[in-house]
Every structure is written in structure tokens, then in C-alpha cells.
Amino acid sequence: MSISIEIPKKPQPHSKSFFIFRRSVSSKEMIFFLGQLSMMLEVGISLSKAIESIASQIGNSYFGEIMKSMVKDIEEGRQLSDSMRRHPKVFKPVYTNMIKSGETGGFLNKVIDSVIEIQEKSRGIAAQFRTALAYPAVLCALAILVTIFVLLGILPKFMVFFEGKYQILPITTRFMMWLSIFLRSYWWILTLIIPGFIIGVKFYLSSKKGQSHLDWITINIPFFSKISNNIYTGIFLRTMGNMLESGVSLKEALSIAGNTLENYYYRQFIETIQNNIEEGISFSKGFAKNKYIHESVKQMISVGEEVGKLPSVMLKLADFYESEIEHDLKRMTSMIEPLALIFMGGVVWVIVSSIVLPMFKLAGAMS
């Protein structure tokens, strides 16, 4: 059964001056490319002609040059997957491997449709996640900016009135005065410490040990772990279901699906399933060893394997997980937004209690 897709609208072209600096391809542009390619192959247009035609429609000149290079590779006798593999920064290895399977099995068009579906689902989840965090992030950033403005622009003017009266000032006022003096006198230290801290964190997270720690936190820390595990499981089931439905063998599908997951512990989980299958253990028994997956999902996978409908069961479960992710993100938003408001209110309270109230107290003492 072929997967029906809606061909995305052509991305809007950008100015040439912008692309002098741009060396990337957005997910929207990739979906447009794959959608157009699938449609053209379906109506019988040759692969090289299809890519050449799409290259003329893409506003991203960087991506256009890559497609022209792919046309040349294909005309020289290379396969599409081999040409894509020469551009790993644009085409992820997992999608290249899926395309390779489609070329080998003779169902390239179907695999391209599967890649489109996976990308659209991933893009949708990312968009939901950004939307959920946008409002709280804006509130927190605004609170930080207001605090800096007060410390550097307003509080120094009031410090003249507070001079010599430190013993009657509240501790919050004295702390903010100290912080204001520190920022105005040693701001240059922060310009060194903050970038250094950011670089250090990035360096640590890029290391194998740091990435392992981050992956463990992602799937074990309360509040975020449920969403993370649902995302990883949903991506895994979606990828596996699409590939098995397209005719890819279970062993090869597991190998490819393992590359779709960035979490170290989930990759180990998939490797365990692969080892179990090589030892003659069924997929469902290996799948059931993941403690983060719902028991009902494990039972459905077992039943699907027994009745020979594993691909369709996986795709239905992927839909279930995606709806769960949407619900969890909405719930997370409903919890984070009040916390952000409380944080903002706390900042306002500290400012008022540190500047306005001491002024009234001093005025009362003088009268």
C-alpha cells in the first residue's frame, strides 16, 4: 500500500546576498525536494531530469549547487544513494540508507514517500516543542533584561540616598547594591566568564562522556523524561513501520532505525534487539525489555508480530505516541507558563522591596 502525501508548496526564494553566507538546507526545503522527486518519478520522469528540474525551482543556491552535482553523479552512473552520501551535512545517513534499500529492492518511490512522512512528523514535533517553550522563554528573558536595567540604570541613582544608612536597609537592597557595583566595576570579567562557560559546556557535551550524561538525564529526569521517551519511541516505531511496510528486512530496518535515534541508551536498546534476533529471539521479546515503554504497547507489538501485521501495528502505535507527545507538550506548557509568571512576579517583588519600599522607609524616618 503506497503512502499518500500532500506535495508541499514551493519554498519562497531568498535573495542571493543572503545565500553568500548560508550553507544549510532547512527541513522544509528537504521535504519540498523529496516531494517533487517522488511525484516526478511516479509519472515516469528520469531521475537526473527530475533533480535538474527541482534544482531550477529551489531558492536556496547552496542546495541548488548540490543538486546539480547529484545530476552529474547520476549521469556518470552513480545511484541516488551514492550521490546523497557524498553530502552528509545535507542528507542524513539514515535517509541515505533507506534510499539505498529502496534502490536495491526496487521500491525507491515508496521509500522516498516514507522519508517524507518521517521528516514531516519530526518537523511537526519540533515545531510543537518550540511553541511550548516560546512564551516562558520570552518572560524569563524579559525578567533578566529588566533586572539588568534596574541594576545598571536605576539603582545607582538611588544609592546616593541610601549612603550612610545601610544598617536599616533590607538584605535584598544591600545585595542588589553590591551586585550593581560589581557589574559596573567588573563587567569585563563577565565578558570572559560567560563565553568561556558556554564554550566549556559545548565542548563537554560534544565529548562522548558528556553526551552520555546528557542522554541519561534526558530519559531519567522527571517531568522531561516522559516526553523524551515518547519522542524516541515514536520515531523508532515510525521509522521501523515505514521501512518494514516498504519491504525492508527486519534486520536491515533495525540497523537503519538505530541511526535515527541520537540517544545513546536507545541505540544500545536497539543493538540488544539485533543481538536477540541473531540468537533466535523474537523482536517483540527484545522490544519488551525497554522499561520506558508502556506495557500495552509491548503487548500490541507481540500480537502484531504473531499475526504478521507488525508494520501496520508499529505505524498505529507511532500515531498514538505522536498524540501523546502533543498532549504532554500542552501539559508542559500549562505548567511552565505559571512558573514563568511566578518568576517574573518574583523579579518585580525584589525590585520593589529593594528600591521603592526602602525609599518610603527612609522618608518616614526623616519625617
Q: Is the pLDDT of residue 17 over 50?
A: no
Question: Which DSSP category does 353 fall into?
Answer: I
Residue 365's pLDDT is what? 59
- How far is Cα 115 from Cα 94, in angstroms, rounded to an integer? 9
52 residue type, one letter: E
Q: Which CATH superfamily hosts domain 16-122?
A: Type II secretion system (T2SS), domain F (1.20.81.30)
Is 268 in contact with 242 (CB distance < 8 Å)? no
Task: Give the number of other Cβ atoms within 10 Å of residue 363's Cβ.
Answer: 10
Is 78 in contact with 48 (CB distance < 8 Å)? no
Could you report the per-residue pLDDT of 53-107, keeping only the tens digit for each? 888 888 888 888 999 999 998 998 888 888 998 888 888 877 887 788 778 777 7
Helix (H, G, I), strand (E, B) or coil at 364: helix
Is 180 in contact with 156 (CB distance < 8 Å)? yes
Listed residue (262, 324, 253) closest to 287, CA to CA:
253
**165 compared with 274, residue with greater pLDDT:** 274
Topology at the third CATH level for domain 138-367: Receptor-associated Protein (1.20.81)
Query: What is this structure's pTM?
Result: 0.67
Residue 9's pLDDT is what? 46
- How far is Cα 328 from Cα 230, in angstroms, rounded to an integer? 9
Domain boundaries, the chain: 16-122, 138-367
Which cell numbers hold the place of 10? 514551493
Residue 199's pLDDT is what? 92
Average pLDDT, the chain: 81
**337 compared with 6, residue with greater pLDDT:** 337
The stretch 210-227 carries a mean pLDDT of 83
At 363, the pLDDT band (50, 70, 90 cuts) reads low
The cell 519540498 sits on which residue? 32
- How far is Cα 13 from Cα 49, in angstroms, rounded to an integer? 21
Is 328 in contact with 150 (CB distance < 8 Å)? no
Could you report the per-residue pLDDT of 292-325, keeping only the tens digit for each? 787 888 889 889 888 888 888 988 888 888 888 8
Which cell numbers hold the place of 87? 553530502
